[in-house]
Amino acid sequence: MVTQKTLSLPPFPRGFHLITDLIKANLDLPKTGVLHVFIQHTSAGLTINENADPTVREDLESSFNHIIREDEPFYQHTFEGSDDMPAHIKSSVVGSSLSIPITDGELNLGTWQGIYLCEFRNEGGSRNIVLTTMS
């Protein structure tokens, strides 16, 4: 059985943001299955990482900026600003979707796991997410 819902997230500033509670509040989970979370954008992404120490989110932002740099001399796609092409690259590195097991009617995340929205643009605005449960 498949259920599906589209969720429009509020705008987040550039960076990595915990959205586990926001996602959970919009779900009516089956007993056993898989939740698929999909972001409909190419300059933002989704990942799972530490849900406790906020410096992990800050260090992820610093690290992605360090590894995938703005204003590389070989970029051609530059007309939308210095943050645009790096945002596309980062979105392919973290990916556009997550699949999470559902067990006993709950997301079966590990103790330290949270769902992150990765906002790679300076002014990304609202982002749409499609939530699909399969059971």
Residues that bind a second copy (CB under 8 A): 2, 4, 32-34, 36, 38-42, 47-50, 53, 55-56, 58-60, 62-64, 66-68, 72, 74-77, 85, 88-89, 91-101, 103, 108-113, 116, 128, 130, 132, 134-135
Q: Kindly state the smallest distance separating residue 81's Cβ from a second copy, in Å.
A: 14
- Provide the β-strand partners of residue 70: none
Residue 41 and residue 129 in contact, taking contact as beta carbons nearer than 8 Å: no
Q: Kindly state the smallest distance separating residue 24's Cβ from a second copy, in Å.
A: 17
Q: Kindly state the smallest distance separating residue 84's Cβ from a second copy, in Å.
A: 9
65 three-state secondary structure: helix
- Looking at the Cβ atoms of 22 and 36, the one nearer to a second copy is 36
In sequence order, the 6+-apart residues with CB closer than 8 A to the CB of 85 are 72, 75, 77, 78
Q: Tokens 């009516």 identify what position?
A: 28
**CA-to-CA distance for 24 and 1, rounded, in angstroms?**
19
- Looking at the Cβ atoms of 78 and 122, the one nearer to a second copy is 78
